[in-house]
């Protein structure tokens, strides 16, 4: 009895084991054994779909093993295993269903499955539904990225099912957004698609527009009667602006609804191929030198059925009148196309508004750069009337000072904090020296001042080349200035530009404080208005000029540090900003900080506006800007904010 009981128990266990094996992964693999062994992209899809649809947890391991080219087929029975090389040419086989080692076998008794790149891509797509719920966040993120690269309707339901249990807030939001995009393109429920379109109509991202645009794509068609089972966008009238007469007939020909017209070249070829006894269609060859004769001969051949008949204007009119021309959407649902068109209109309007905002931010950023570059020149040119062509080289010196400081202080934040006052000190000292040695002897002699400062400019450039070489030197911004402030896919501005804008505001406030609240500012304003009267009340105009020139040069040095954070630091750095600096001062109004601010704003907005209208040619934009400024000065020679006194030419 005991033996019978044990035998029965053994039989029962064997049956249960056999039943478990039947519901495992191996039976599915055996069902598609030939297809899997061949691994052809054209035939493999049903096998991969069956494995993915099984829902078995071991399917993920099997697909990953297959994609990694570590899956082998045992030749004796056609079973599939994962394999690892043992000693010599032997491999250890592991069963996918049980995860247990089933033995060691020689390589000659195995066949390695090496899927090509196309099959691996399909395996990767099938793996996505498993990876969406994988405990590893990196795999879940990779699955989302895979869906974004290669969206499929089959992935919509697995994606939806994974959202509720997603613990990571960021991934959950990305899954929800991706689910909306897949719903728009692949859901079979029209109401769900319309709802998804409405949900995404406020999103300005490129992928939303990429999902909506295919829904409103149209194609032109022609038919004897308007079909009832198509989503018609518009009915076209031949001969109208939207569909010319020739285009309409060409559409009929392309749709095999009308005979193609016979071209003059085809007529000549047909006549040449049907010469019989010196005649074609009864017309002597010598007489076929006119269009009428050739047409008559061709018509005779057509009546005999030798060549296709000519298509006359009357034939064309008859064919056009017998057919209907229309455009149809690729999307079959009218509700979906209507919702998509409405959403695209809203998005296009918002994109336009955001592009205007982005252009405005760019213009403000450029204006702040020009203001920083020109503020020192506004001081020297406005107070002293000195045309300093070396002003750009003070900007260059400030940038190089920042570079030198960074060689000794590797911390980029600290180095910039040190470089700003250091650049001011260096360029202030150079400005005072230049004023004392050169400029002071050339007051009231503008031509000699221009030539002298131009010569100094060339000398300073050459000196910089001798010291630092001709290669661009890096002036690295602190890490917290990396990247950009991104509002959406349309509007963004780099943190460096924001920092320069803030720096320009700081200098505006600092300059106003110096001019309104300090003795130096009072003396500068006095000398600006009337230098003789200022001298008669005890103000030393020479000392004021020296300090003014030094102050303007020092501010140029600080501007150089700011500009060097995003521009190439070379000996030619200053020459890129000297023209804009002079234009800023002249257009705004010499000797007035508000004039410099207004001039910088005008030039910045003007240049960005011209570049927006002609984005492919920046040089042309600058040329147009200079021409506009020349015309502007003709009507307002004192600039936007005119200042009375010496700086204004009184």
Q: What is the pLDDT of residues 462-521, one digit of tens each?
A: 999 999 988 888 888 888 888 888 888 888 888 888 888 888 888 888 888 887 888 888
Q: Are 593 and 344 in contact (CB under 8 A)?
A: no
CA distance 137 to 132: 9
Q: What phi and psi values does residue 8 have, to the nearest 5 degrees?
A: -65, -40
Task: Say yes or no to pLDDT of 637 above 90.
Answer: no
Higher-pLDDT residue of 331 and 150 is: 331
CA distance 149 to 508: 49
Task: Say yes or no to pLDDT of 176 above 90.
Answer: yes
Which of these ranges, 258-272, 349-363, 404-418, has the smallest mean pLDDT? 258-272
Higher-pLDDT residue of 85 and 426 is: 426
> What pLDDT band is residue 617 in, cutting at 50, 70 and 90?
low
State the pLDDT at residue 624.
79
- Residue-wise burial string across 603-617, b where 16 or more C-beta atoms lie within 10 A, e elsewhere: bbbbbbbbbeeeeee
**Average pLDDT in the 215-232 region?**
89
- Report the share of the chain in percent with pLDDT over 90: 19
Task: Say yes or no to pLDDT of 620 above 80.
Answer: no
State the pLDDT at residue 644.
53
Q: What phi and psi values does residue 106 have, to the nearest 5 degrees?
A: -70, 150
Residues near 286 by Cβ (< 8 Å), separated by ≥ 6?
none
Number of helical (H) and strand (E) elements in the chain, helices listed first: 26, 12
CA distance 37 to 44: 10
How high does pLDDT run on average in the chain?
Answer: 84
CA distance 584 to 567: 20
**Average pLDDT in the 246-268 region?**
86
> What pLDDT band is residue 619 in, cutting at 50, 70 and 90?
low
**Average pLDDT in the 580-600 region?**
81
State the pLDDT at residue 383.
63
**Within its chain, how far is the Cα of 121 from the centroid?**
26
Pick the most confident of 76-85, 414-423, 445-454, 562-571: 414-423
Q: Quick one: 24-120 is in which CATH superfamily?
A: Myosin S1 fragment, N-terminal (2.30.30.360)
**Average pLDDT in the 50-79 region?**
86
**Average pLDDT in the 432-444 region?**
87
State the pLDDT at residue 649.
47
State the pLDDT at residue 608.
85
Which of these ranges, 148-162, 247-261, 627-641, has the smallest mean pLDDT? 627-641
> What pLDDT band is residue 69 in, cutting at 50, 70 and 90?
confident
Task: Say yes or no to pLDDT of 193 above 90.
Answer: yes
Residue 220 vs residues 39, 210, 215, 264, 499: alpha-carbon distances, Å = 40, 22, 15, 28, 53
Task: Say yes or no to pLDDT of 551 above 50.
Answer: yes
Task: Say yes or no to pLDDT of 618 above 80.
Answer: no
State the pLDDT at residue 328.
92
> What pLDDT band is residue 16 in, cutting at 50, 70 and 90?
very low
Higher-pLDDT residue of 524 and 200 is: 200
Which of these ranges, 182-186, 458-462, 529-533, has the smallest mean pLDDT? 529-533
State the pLDDT at residue 17.
38
Per-residue pLDDT reduced to its tens digit, 227-255? 888 899 899 999 888 899 889 988 998 88
State the pLDDT at residue 5.
40
Angle formed by the axes of helices 117-131 and 137-149, nearest 10°: 130
Which of these ranges, 165-179, 183-197, 569-583, has the smallest mean pLDDT? 569-583
Task: Say yes or no to pLDDT of 21 above 70.
Answer: no
State the pLDDT at residue 488.
80
> What pLDDT band is residue 150 in, cutting at 50, 70 and 90?
confident
CA distance 363 to 581: 16
State the pLDDT at residue 56.
83
Task: Say yes or no to pLDDT of 19 above 60.
Answer: no
> What pLDDT band is residue 382 in, cutting at 50, 70 and 90?
low
Q: Where are the domains of the chain?
A: 24-120, 132-216, 218-329, 351-644
DSSP class per residue in 499-567: HHHHHHHHHHHHHHHHHHHSHHHHHHHHHHH-HHHHHHTT--HHHHHHHHHHHHHHHHHHHHHHHHTTS
**Average pLDDT in the 354-374 region?**
88
**Average pLDDT in the 109-131 region?**
84
State the pLDDT at residue 14.
41
Largest Cα span, the chain: 135
Neighbour-count burial of 498, counting CB atoms closer than 10 A to its CB (0-12 exposed, 13-18 middle, 19+ buried): middle
CA distance 199 to 184: 10
CA distance 541 to 544: 5
Of 378, 390, 372, residue with least CA distance to 434: 390
């Amino acid at each position: 009895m005991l033996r019978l009981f044990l035998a029965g128990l053994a039989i029962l266990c064997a049956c249960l084991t056999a039943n478990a094996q039947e519901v495992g992964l191996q039976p599915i693999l055996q069902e598609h054994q030939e297809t899997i062994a061949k691994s052809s992209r054209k035939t493999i899809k049903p096998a991969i779909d069956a494995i993915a649809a099984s829902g078995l947890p071991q399917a993920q391991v099997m697909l990953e093993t297959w994609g990694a080219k570590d899956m082998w087929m045992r030749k004796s029975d056609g079973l599939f295993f994962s394999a690892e090389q043992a000693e010599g040419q032997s491999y250890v086989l592991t069963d996918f269903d049980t995860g247990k080692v089933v033995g060691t076998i020689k390589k000659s008794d195995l066949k390695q499955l090496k899927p090509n790149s196309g099959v691996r891509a399909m395996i990767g797509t099938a793996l996505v539904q498993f990876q969406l719920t994988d405990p590893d966040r990196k795999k879940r993120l990779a699955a989302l990225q895979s869906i974004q690269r290669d969206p499929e309707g089959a992935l919509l339901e697995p994606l939806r099912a994974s959202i509720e249990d997603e613990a990571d807030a960021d991934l959950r939001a990305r899954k929800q957004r991706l689910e909306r995009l897949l719903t728009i393109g692949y859901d079979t429920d029209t109401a769900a698609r319309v709802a998804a379109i409405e949900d995404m109509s406020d999103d300005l991202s490129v992928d939303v527009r990429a999902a909506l645009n295919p829904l409103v794509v149209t194609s032109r068609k022609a038919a004897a009667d308007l079909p009832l089972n198509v989503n018609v966008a518009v009915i076209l009238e031949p001969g109208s602006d939207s569909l010319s007469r020739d285009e309409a007939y060409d559409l009929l020909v392309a749709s095999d609804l009308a005979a193609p017209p016979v071209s003059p070249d085809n007529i000549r070829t047909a006549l040449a191929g049907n010469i019989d006894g010196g005649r074609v269609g009864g017309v002597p060859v010598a007489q076929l030198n006119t269009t009428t004769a050739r047409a008559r001969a061709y018509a005779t051949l057509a009546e005999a059925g030798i060549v296709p008949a000519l298509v006359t204007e009357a034939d064309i009119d008859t064919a056009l009148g017998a057919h209907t021309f229309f455009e149809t959407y690729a999307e079959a649902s009218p509700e979906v196309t209507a919702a998509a068109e409405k959403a695209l209109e809203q998005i296009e309007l918002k994109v336009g508004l955001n592009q205007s905002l982005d252009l405005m931010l760019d213009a403000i950023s450029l204006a702040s750069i020009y203001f920083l570059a020109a503020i020192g020149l506004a001081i020297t040119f406005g107070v002293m009337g000195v045309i300093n062509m070396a002003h750009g080289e003070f900007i260059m010196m400030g940038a190089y000072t920042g570079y030198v400081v960074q060689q000794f202080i590797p911390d980029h934040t600290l180095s910039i904090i040190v470089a700003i006052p250091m650049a001011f000190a260096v360029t202030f000292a150079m400005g005072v020296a230049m004023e004392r040695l050169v400029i002071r002897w050339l007051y009231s002699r503008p031509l000699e001042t221009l030539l002298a400062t131009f010569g100094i400019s060339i000398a300073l450039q050459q000196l910089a080349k001798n010291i630092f070489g001709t290669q661009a030197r890096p002036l690295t911004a602190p890490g917290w200035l990396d990247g950009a402030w991104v509002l959406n896919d349309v509007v963004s501005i780099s943190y460096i530009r924001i920092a320069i804008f803030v720096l320009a505001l700081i200098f505006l406030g600092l300059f106003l404080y110096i001019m309104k609240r300090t003795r130096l500012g009072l003396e500068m304003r006095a000398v600006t208005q009337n230098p003789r009267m200022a001298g008669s009340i005890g103000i030393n105009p020479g000392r004021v000029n020296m300090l003014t020139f030094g102050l303007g040069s020092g501010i140029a040095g600080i501007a150089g540090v700011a500009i060097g954070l995003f521009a190439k630091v070379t000996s030619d750095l200053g020459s890129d900003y000297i023209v804009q600096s002079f234009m800023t001062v002249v257009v705004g109004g010499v000797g007035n900080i508000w004039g410099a601010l207004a001039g910088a704003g005008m030039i910045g907005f003007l240049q960005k506006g011209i570049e927006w209208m002609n984005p492919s040619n920046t040089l042309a934009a600058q040329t147009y800007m200079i021409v506009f400024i020349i015309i502007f000065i003709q009507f307002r020679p004192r600039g936007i904010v005119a200042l009375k006194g010496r700086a204004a030419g009184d």
